[in-house]
Structure 1
Amino acid sequence: MEKNQAPEKPYWLTVRLSPREVQKLKKLLAQSAHCRNLSELVRTILFKQELTIKKRNASLDELKSEIVKVKGELRSIGVNINQVTHYFNGHPDPAEKRYFARKILPLYKKVGQKTEQLMVMVSQLSRL
């Protein structure tokens, strides 16, 4: 027998279920961390083996998507800062350097705002 192949189960057990019971089992199967099909789930329940349920926290999912959004915004701001810094270092004229320095200041302020936003999100994570 191969490693990944389940042991042979030659006996069949037929059980009649209501649509509601089938839905309940399918919901449990979707939440189960280890059962791959209904048969496995029913055997696990029937023989009182430990059933691990995966739970999702909707507020955590929402927070994760916000963090990903802020990460993208910070990456864009960083690219802009790098471009302005490149132009700044490439121009020897002091007037042009002042222009680029003034242009980069709002970008650094945005980084500060996004960092504060991330800190709020991290504190929310610590409360979950």
Structure 2
Amino acid sequence: MERVKKRKGLQLPHVIPIRISEEKYRELSGLLQQSHCRSMSELLRKIIDNRKIIVGNVDQGNRLMLEELALIRKEVLAIGVNINQATRRVNSERLPADRLGHALEIVRLFQQADERISRLFTLMAKLSERW
């Protein structure tokens, strides 16, 4: 497969090698890590063109909370699938004793879902306090 060529106006045909001090390199590397730029070249082009460099601070507390929210979402979805399966088993059983066993399993699954949802509301309250 052939490489897609950029339009004439978007090509960057000139290479300009430069040397900078170790201190300046560390400063630029730090800025690169904080910015949305993918490479040092992209960062330097923005600096030369006097374009805005978007710097984002990553709040680890929010990041961990969002990861936990995603985990709770997966758990609640899995519990929902299990409840649907147990409900089908209850409806397919003929004997009342067997139905009761599956119904108790459904109750246990709803209790698990309730625990996860309580944790979800706690996390949402913490998030709303921050904003």
Shorter-chain TM-score tier? 0.7 to 0.9
How many residue pairs get aligned? The number is 125
Uncovered stretches (5+) of structure 2, i.e. residues with no partner: 1-5
User: Aligned-pair distance for 1:109?
Assistant: 0.9
For residues 44-102 of structure 1, the C-alpha deviation after alignment (integer angstroms, 9 at most, x for no partner) is 33554322112211111111211122122212222221221111000122222222222
Distance 1:106 1:37, change over 3 A: closer
The letter for the 2-side match of 1:93 is: L
CA distance in 2, matches of 1:121, 1:4: 49
- Aligned mate of 1:31, from 34, 38, 41: 34
Report 1:16-55 matches (<5 A).
Answer: 16-33=19-36, 35-46=37-48, 48-55=50-57
What is the RMSD computed on CA atoms of the aligned residues? 2.5
Q: What is the distance in 2 between the residues matched to 1:40 and 1:102?
A: 60
Structure 1 regions of 5+ residues with no counterpart?
A: none
- CA separation of 1:29 and 1:92: change in aligned 2, threshold 3 A: same
Instruction: State how far apart, in whole Å, the 1-side matches of 2:57 and 2:65 are.
Output: 16
Identity of aligned residues (%): 28
Partner residue of 1:101?
A: 103
Aligned to 2:10: 5
Query: How much does 1:114 deviate?
Result: 0.6
